[in-house]
Amino acid sequence: MAEFEPVLLANVGKQESWTRRVYEQNGGYQALRRVLKTMTPQEVVELVKASGLRGRGGAGFPTGVKWSFLPKDHPGPVYFCLNADESEPGTFNNRILMEHDPHQVLEGTIISAYATGASVVYIYLRYEYPLCLKRLQQAIDECYEAGYLGRDILGSGFSLDVYIHRGAAAYICGEETGLIESIEGKRAWPRIKPPFPAVQGVFGKPTVVNNVETVACVTHIAARGAEWFKSIGVPADPNNPRDAGSYGPKLYCLSGHVNRPGCYEAPLGITCRELIEHFGQGVWKGRRAKAAIPGGISMGLLTAQELDTPLDFSSLQKVGCLGLGTAAVVVMDETVRIIDYLYNSCRFFAHESCGQCTPCREGTAWALRIVDRIRRGRGRLVDLDILLEIGNTIGIIPGTTICGLADGAAWPLKNAITKFRQELEDFIRRTNPQGYMQSDPVPLELHTLEH
């Protein structure tokens, strides 16, 4: 890790790092110039494929492969949507990039649009990021002035327009087809796939949706090459043909009970403990970690014994988590009650379920009511099994919902109940000594509906 050189955050902290002047002083837009002058779009796709870059938004799908799904020789237009709806609790890496280095994001966006043959980019920006809106719009204006956007960019014949589309505080808009529906002016109900956006996306046209950090990586792959990118991170397991590896630098968000919360750049595959100890300077107040969320709240929970798990695309599943997600680590110290964590998580998903699929809408709402009742001292041991059953039956993985929101709701439940069952049982026994054995239905009035 000693020789690792941060690139994504290299400009962050410099004075006026968000201006074109400072960005160009540090070598900005050289990669774009070179790409437009010397490479065909297909060569850029192959470059990104060769780099092994996987999407940074949560699902980790190989970016170059996603691009190659676009139909060849489509009359167009092709659309490129930049997913800046960052809303996963604990996650703020895209905000840092857009606030401090919007030109890095735009350079990657323009290169990615060139590679995919897109003529229009919509940046879907969450409402809660007003400073990003300001900085991005300034940067876009500067790009038009400099000829990096608009007609016939740098004399290449390639033309591109970029528009910011502002969201309205709905988590589901980060799901790529929900995002597409939202751009079209509809409720952000995710679509049944196939057809995938590459074939039929926004306005029925071929569409690529990529995360902000993903296109920022494209900037550096274009500047430094696929081999450089592949030299960082964790190589694919040769014994597992399904492992696509975890290559490149990654922005890790660290928050919760640590001494130094923040966004840190490291090679993919550092362990959770390294992140907490090295970057976060340990758990606050001299306490010990009880658990940590590995990659945004959807990904589940690591116990204190599991903190040496590498934060990459394949290791977290081995300890029962959903995956790397957004690589946002939230640390909980030994004073945190697991029931309170569960309540917070269940409340979030019940609030953000879009309501389209019944298992998710009802499952998240009932999970919240049950967890809330336990928290108020009216829990029964059987409730834990009911919660597990909800967790096991909602989501894409059991095949009952259209999108993965419910899987994200399920994992905190499943991880908390399997990894911290004793604590939860003790809590129920202690807070409801008379009634904890009851398995009869709970009167409806004990399920509160107000959250």
Partner 1 sequence: MSNGKVSQEQPARVLTPEMIDEIRSYFSRYPTRQAVTLPALHVVNRHLRWVPPQAVEEIAQLLELPPAQVQDTLSFYGFFRQDAPCGQVRAWVCRSISCALRGGEELLEHMCRRLGIRPGQTTPDGKLTLEFAECLGACEYAPCMLAGEELHKCMTTEDADRFLESLGVQVVQESASQK
Binding site for partner 1 (CB under 8 A): 77, 86-92, 94-95, 126-131, 161, 163, 165-171, 182-188, 203, 253-257, 261-263, 293, 297, 328, 330, 332, 336, 340-341, 344-345, 347-348, 351-352, 354
Closer by beta carbon to partner 1, 129 or else 313? 129
Locate 46 and state its tokens.
Answer: 């192959």
**What is the C-alpha to C-alpha distance for residues 328 and 253, in angstroms, rounded to an integer?**
4
**What is the C-alpha to C-alpha distance for residues 102 and 140, in angstroms, rounded to an integer?**
9
Closest contact distance (angstroms) between CB of 78 and partner 1 is: 13
Closest contact distance (angstroms) between CB of 208 and partner 1 is: 17
Closer by beta carbon to partner 1, 146 or else 170? 170
Closest contact distance (angstroms) between CB of 23 and partner 1 is: 23
Radius of gyration of the chain (CA): 23
Q: 273 CB contacts (<8 Å, ≥6 apart)?
A: 307, 308
Torsion of CA 172, 373, 446, 354, to 10 degrees: 0
Closer by beta carbon to partner 1, 111 or else 180? 180
Closer by beta carbon to partner 1, 101 or else 352? 352
Torsion of CA 337, 338, 340, 345, to 10 degrees: 150
Closest contact distance (angstroms) between CB of 168 and partner 1 is: 4
Closest contact distance (angstroms) between CB of 95 and partner 1 is: 5
Closer by beta carbon to partner 1, 183 or else 222? 183
Closer by beta carbon to partner 1, 127 or else 366? 127
Closest alpha carbon to 140 in 165, 117, 172: 165
**What is the C-alpha to C-alpha distance for residues 142 and 119, in angstroms, rounded to an integer?**
19
Closest contact distance (angstroms) between CB of 133 and partner 1 is: 9
**What is the C-alpha to C-alpha distance for residues 338 and 324, in angstroms, rounded to an integer?**
21
Which helix (H) or strand (E) segment holds residue 30: the answer is helix 30-38
Closest contact distance (angstroms) between CB of 81 and partner 1 is: 12
Q: Tell me the DSSP string of 355-392.
A: S-SHHHHHHHHHHHHHHHHIIIII--HHHHHHHHHHHH
Closer by beta carbon to partner 1, 123 or else 424? 123
What percent of the residues of the chain are helix, what percent strand, and what percent coil, each to the nearest 5? Answer: 45, 15, 40
Closest contact distance (angstroms) between CB of 229 and partner 1 is: 26
Q: Is residue 336 a contact partner of residue 319, using CB atoms and an 8 Å limit? A: no
Q: Is residue 120 a contact partner of residue 161, using CB atoms and an 8 Å limit? A: yes
Closest contact distance (angstroms) between CB of 90 and partner 1 is: 5
Closer by beta carbon to partner 1, 328 or else 357? 328
**What is the C-alpha to C-alpha distance for residues 261 and 97, in angstroms, rounded to an integer?**
17
Closest alpha carbon to 332 in 430, 416, 265: 416
Closer by beta carbon to partner 1, 297 or else 370? 297
Closer by beta carbon to partner 1, 261 or else 363? 261
Tokens 């960052």 appear where? 86
Closest contact distance (angstroms) between CB of 158 and partner 1 is: 19
Write the DSSP symbol of residue 107.
Answer: H
Closest contact distance (angstroms) between CB of 324 and partner 1 is: 17
Q: Cis ω on the peptide bond leading into residue 294 (within 30° of 0)?
A: no
Strands 289-293 vs 79-84: parallel, antiparallel or unpaired: unpaired
Closer by beta carbon to partner 1, 212 or else 217? 212
SS3 96: helix
